[in-house]
Structure formats: C-alpha cells, structure tokens
Amino acid sequence: MLAFIIRRISQAFFVVVAMVVLVFFGTYVIGDPVWMMVPGDATQEQIEAVRRDFGFDQPVYVQFFKFLGDVLHGEFGRSYVHGSSAINLILDRMPATLELALAALILAVLIGIPLGLFAGLKPDHPASRSIMAVSILGFSLPTFWVGLMLIMLFSVMLGWLPATGRGPVVSIFGLETSMLSLEGWRHLFLPAINLALLKISLVIRLTRSGAREAALQDYVKFARAKGLSQQRIVGVHILKNILIPIVTVLGLEFGSLVAFSVVTETIFAWPGMGKLLLEAIQRLDRPLIVAYVMVVVLLFVTINLIVDILYSALDPRVRLTGTQS
Amino acid sequence: MSSPVLVVDNLATHFFTRDGVVKSVDGISFNVMPGEVLGLVGESGSGKSVTGFSIMGLIDPPGKIVSGSIRLNGEELVGRDDASMRKVRGKSLAMIFQDPMMTLNPVLRIDTQMMEAVQAHEAVSDKAARARSAAALAMVGIPAPEERLSAYPHQFSGGMRQRVAIAIALLHRPALIIADEPTTALDVTIQSQILSEVQRLCAESGTALVWITHDLAVVAGLADRVAVMYAGRIAEQGRVDDVLDRPLHPYTHGLIGSVPGAHLEGTRLHQIRGSTPSLGQLPPGCAFEPRCDRAGPACSTMPVISQASDGRAYRCFNPVPQQGVTA
Ligand SMILES: Nc1ncnc2c1ncn2[C@@H]1O[C@H](COP(=O)(O)OP(=O)(O)OP(=O)(O)O)[C@@H](O)[C@H]1O
Ligand SMILES: [Mg+2]
C-alpha cells in the first residue's frame, strides 16, 4: 500500500512539472501583456520601462527560470489588473468554487445513484424510461441555457430561490462555507443543480448499466438463494460492486466540475475562482491565469491520488495486485 | 415409510420470449426422500437448471411457473410471494451453483457473506454468527477457518471457494440441497474430493440432495436414484442401478452408449444421431422421436408415463427390451 502511494506521488510530481512548462510557454505565446498594462497613449519609452520592470525584455529561457523559481516558492506575481498577489486572489476565491463543486457532486450522487439503481433493476418500468429520457436531456442541453431556465423558473416566475450570489458564510476550522445555513443552501441549490446536471446524467447511466450487469451475476442469484432481503442484495451486494466505477469516474469528474464552474459561476454571479478566471482571460492577466491553472492542476493531481487510494480500498483485488508488484 | 421431503408434481416452467414460448420444463414429476440423493441428468439445455431454479423460486421474468406443484415437507411453494419464499430459501432449501468463481461476491469478505446468511434466518449476535461460520468452514475441510473468514474470495482456489459455498448451503442444515453441476468447473481430483465430502456431510445431517449433472459417472457413484431429462421432460427415472444397467428409454440407452468406457474396448462409441431440438418448436409427440431408432407411428403423440415393475417411470411407447434380467 505504501509503495503504491509513493509510486503515485512521484507520478503526480512529473505531471506537475510538465504542466509548469506547458503553462509558461502557453501563456508566453498568447500575446504581449504590456499592451494591457499601459494606457493607450503611452510613449515608446514608457512601454519599454514597463517591459523592463516586468522582465519581458529578457530572453525566454531567463524568463522561464525566473518563473520556475517563483513557482517553487508559490509565487505567481501580482495580478496586472488587481495589483495584488495572484495566488492569494485565487485562493481567496477557491473555497466558494470548491463548495459549489462539492455541492454538485453530492447532488449527483444523491440523485444519480437511486435513479440509476431503479432504472437498472426495473428496466421495463415506465418510470425507468422517463429517467433515461431525462438523462439524455441532461447530457445534451447546454449548461448556460439550463442555468438561465432555472433562474427564470425558480427565481423569476416562482420566486422560490434567489437567482444570484452566495449566501451568508460561516467559518469552520478556518474554512468559510455557506453550507451550514438554510439561506446558504437556498443560494447554493440552483447553481449546484445547474453544475451537477451533466454529472447526474453520467451517474444515472453508470449506475444503471452497472446494476443491470450485476443483477445477472451468479453472486446475486446465490445471495437470493441464501434468503437475503432485496434491500440487502441491492444495498450491499450490488451497490458495493458498482460503486467502484462510480467512485473512480466521479473522482476524476470532480476536477471537471471545478473547471466547468466557470460557466455556472458567471450565470449565477457566484463569487468563485471561475468567474475570476474569465475576467483574467478577457484582460490577458497572465499571473492570474497561470496561478489559476497551477491551482487546478494541483487539485486534479491530488484528486486522482485520492481516487486511486479509494479505489484500492473498495476493490480488494486491486489491493492484492498492488502488493504483488 | 417416511414421506418425501420434496414432491415435484407435473411442473411446467416456460419462458415467454420475443421469439415465442420456450417450454424449458414441461410437465415433470419426481419425489426426493429424506437423505436421498437424486441425480438429475440430461444434456445441455434439457432444463436441469430451470428445474432447480423453479424449486428455489428463483425464476425471473420472462420465465414463469405455468402449472404444477412443488411441495417441500408437504408445504406448497408454487405461488408464494417473495417474502415467504425468502424464509425457505437458504433455511430449509439451499442451492450450490456451477461456477465457484462467480457465486461469491468478489468485493465482500467471506465472513460478511457467511454471517449475513446466518442472520438472514436467525436473530443471533455477530459473534455467534461468526462462530457458526467458522464451524461451518471447518466442517467442509478449510484449514484455519478463523483466519480464512477475513479473506476475500479471490484469495481462495476454485475448490476452496466451492467448499465455502457448500458451507454456506449447510449453515442451517437444510432438508434439501440443490447442487447445480457444482464440480463441473473443477479439476478431476478436487471434483472427487468435493463429491465424497458432500456425500458424507449430507449423510451426517440427513440432508437430501438433488445433484444436477450431465456426467453419468458422477451419478453412478453418488446418486440413489436418477431422473433423465430430455427437452424439458423426464424420459425415465428410477433406481440408479436399474436405469444405468437396463435403460428403458431409447434416449437413456443412447446416452449410456455414448459414454467412453461403457463399451467393450475397440468397439466404436455409439452416437445419438441428430441434435437437441429447439425448445420453442417441439413436435407434438415424443421430443426424442426424430432422433430415435425405435420410433414408430404412435410416437407422434405424447407418450404417457408408464410404470415398470421395478418402480421405474418412463415416457415411451417402445421401450428398450430388457434382456438378460436375472433375478
Ligand atoms: N432467461 C431465459 N430466457 C429464455 N430462455 C431460457 C432462459 N433460461 C433458460 N432458458 C431456456 O431453457 C432451456 C433450459 O435451460 P437450462 O439452463 O435449464 O439447461 P440445463 O439443462 O441446465 O443445461 P446446462 O447443462 O447447459 O446447464 C434452455 O434451452 C434455455 O434456452
Ligand atoms: Mg444448467
């Protein structure tokens, strides 16, 4: 188990290094940020001065190593637009985004698994057909459109839920969250559902096909032959088997929830880092973009690591091969 | 004389598929006495497993028991709802499956899978359930049962897994175990070990056994009585020695003739010509008629069940003449 974790961590390290290189050269080629920083009527001398100040006149490799040194110190420079530390700007906004992604993940599991189980175990039931039809919609409708429709229905027409913003936050263990109050959830619910829609569909389909396959297995028939109740067979024998692919996929999808939150945060004016990124891209705020990408990379790598460990905890056969190799 | 544990009376189980009705089991009757071993033989697709699952009440749609009666210790099982069937399954009626690699849940530990079987029928503490499980493992010859309880199925060999399944089946000392080809997937040496083990355990606990197989040698060594199935019906049943030595039904005759070793060395193996009919479109008469050397004009109608003097029952108009019967 320990060897397994160490191997995964070293793999993760190389992924991060590769991303640092990619991010630097990726942002290097997307245009000259100087033009975004100087006023329109700046003179040539003023422009050159800004260039020198930020080190843009140096050769690429010098800039790269300076960048590398900064990254190693967790320093990504100051936002050209906000003037404050880029990484702090991102980290300040990160809890809101993580909270939104987590809420979406919880909804995807709480809604997707029961519906998927039902559709998988009773494939001919009319409700199962409706579930599958809705999940196709979930896959194909664009997120921003669904977001607007949700606002129109629940905020404008019915007036049940607020359309924008984040609810009151409480600080717990140094983390700020709005998940502890009803008002917080009232604000969180629509954006979370919007963000979760795609994942709900995904979980429904994964669970359904897993359940259909598992229900035909001999171990299910044997469990029935033992006289076990239907709840025990579905809740333990079937669920534990299909949880393996679901946890794996959902874990990997958590990263994409964070990434996709850019759209949802913009629609619902959710004060997360996705919204910040969109503004940074529009204004070519290089340090902010770089800081965002690096934070997301680290997030992805960490999540993958956790998924790997969870996966081996769920599937005893993986544990065995892990110790053998 | 005691009464039978199991009475199967004119059972018919059909599958209503898109391509028509498949009459997998179509009017079979047999009894099993307490402690008796009944061999249920027949080639692939003859309806042996469907018979077993019908008795267990594990036939799922599109399958359905369309008629007949199954009585366990005098109590009718056909037509019960799932909740009351569940009280019987695993308690007085148990089943072992063919492939030990597939019957245990790969992600649950052995103790979980055994203790839940204990606790499904008896309100006992975890500790007591665990002790019962360990004792059952010891009984089927698994060394260090206490430690093995915490293992996962993949840490066992095929033969050991089948022993675990047998231990689970024996947990509540059922009146009857249905064993659906439990040794087919195992090595020959393991196979004979398991056979004698099961024979011993059932004899000790007075458990009756329905042993499903297509291996006549296994039946000869294990069973008291045998029922030969063909295309969803029982062609012939009776005491093992009678049926195997002096078959009445031409199908049994052909089946025995096609076993290597049953013949004089150097003579050709006998073969039954043609192939198994499709269960969807059986002829109105005897299903074996198209392949039968002894078929006559009468065979295009369904033969009734006849009784021979030795207690055998068979469905045939032109049974194989009994030569060389010395009393
Ligand atoms: N779920 C099902 N749907 C349709 N037909 C089925 C179903 N289950 C079984 N059958 C049919 O019932 C017939 C008997 O099947 P069964 O499994 O009882 O055969 P068997 O005698 O056990 O054969 P084998 O030795 O291969 O295990 C087969 O022809 C099969 O096509
Ligand atoms: Mg079978």
User: Residue A19 sits in which domain range?
Assistant: 2-72
Q: Is the pLDDT of residue A183 over 70?
A: yes
Name, in order, each residue with C-beta under 8 angstroms of A82's C-beta and a sequence gap of 6 or more.
A89, A285, A288
In the sheet where B313-314 sits, what is the strand order? B93-96, B176-180, B208-213, B37-41, B225-230, B233-239, B313-314, B306-307
Amino acid letter for position B291: R
Mean pLDDT of B203-227: 90
More confident residue, B311 or B240: B240
* pLDDT-derived band at B325, boundaries 50, 70, 90: very low
B9 token code pair: 């009376």
Q: Is A317 on the interface with B (CB under 8 A)?
A: yes
User: What residues does ligand 1 touch, defined as CB less than 6 Å away?
Assistant: B 15, 17, 22, 24, 42, 44-50, 62-63, 214, 279
Q: Among the three residues A14, A45, A72, which one is the final residue of a domain in this structure?
A: A72
Q: What is the pLDDT of residues A82-128, one digit of tens each?
A: 888 888 888 888 888 989 999 999 999 999 999 999 999 988 899 99
Q: What is the pLDDT of residues B273-295, one digit of tens each?
A: 777 777 777 778 888 888 888 88
Pair A9, A131 in one domain: no
* pLDDT-derived band at A29, boundaries 50, 70, 90: low
**What separation in Å is there between the alpha carbon of A218 and the centre of ligand 2?**
12
Q: Is the pLDDT of residue B268 over 70?
A: no
> What is the pLDDT of chain B when averaged over all its residues?
88
Q: Is the pLDDT of residue A56 over 80?
A: no
Distance CA A234, CA A229 (A): 9
In a domain, A241, yes or no: yes
CATH of the domain at A172: 1.10.3720.10
Mean pLDDT of A283-292: 83
* pLDDT-derived band at A66, boundaries 50, 70, 90: confident
In a domain, B179, yes or no: no
Distance CA A166, CA A189 (A): 10
H/E stretch holding B230 reads strand B225-230
Q: Among the three residues A11, A43, A72, which one is the final residue of a domain in this structure?
A: A72
Helix A2-28 vs helix A316-324: angle between axes, to the nearest 10 degrees? 90
Of A262, A298, A263, A135, the closest CA to residue A203 belongs to A135
User: Residue B286 sits in which domain range?
Assistant: 6-34+42-81+211-314
Q: What is the pLDDT of residue B323?
A: 66
Among residues of chain B, what percentage have pLDDT more than 70?
Answer: 95
Q: Among the three residues A23, A42, A72, which one is the final residue of a domain in this structure?
A: A72
**DSSP 8-state symbol, B316:** -
pTM: 0.80
Q: Is the pLDDT of residue B327 over 50?
A: no
Q: What is the pLDDT of residue B180?
A: 93
In a domain, A154, yes or no: yes
User: Is ipTM over 0.90?
Assistant: no
Give the pairing type, strands B208-213 and B6-17.
unpaired
Pair A114, A257 in one domain: yes
In chain A, the number of structural domains is 2
CATH of the domain at B242: 3.40.50.300
DSSP lists the bridge partners of residue B95 as: B178
In chain B, the number of structural domains is 1
Pair A251, A135 in one domain: yes
In a domain, A321, yes or no: no
Partner residue opposite B107 with nearest CB, options A226, A227, A315: A315
More confident residue, B193 or B48: B48
Distance CA A319, CA A186 (A): 42
Of A61, A62, A85, the closest CA to residue A73 belongs to A85
Pair A108, A16 in one domain: no
Q: How far is A240 from chain B (nearest CA, A)?
A: 7
Q: What is the pLDDT of residues B150-187, one digit of tens each?
A: 999 999 988 899 999 999 999 999 999 999 988 887 88
Contacts of B117 in chain A (CB under 8 A): 226-228
Distance CA B262, CA B251 (A): 15
Mean pLDDT of B205-218: 90
Pair A51, A94 in one domain: no
Residue ranges in chain A assigned as alpha helix (H): 2-28, 34-37, 44-54, 60-72, 86-121, 126-140, 143-150, 182-215, 218-225, 230-232, 239-267, 273-282, 286-314, 316-324
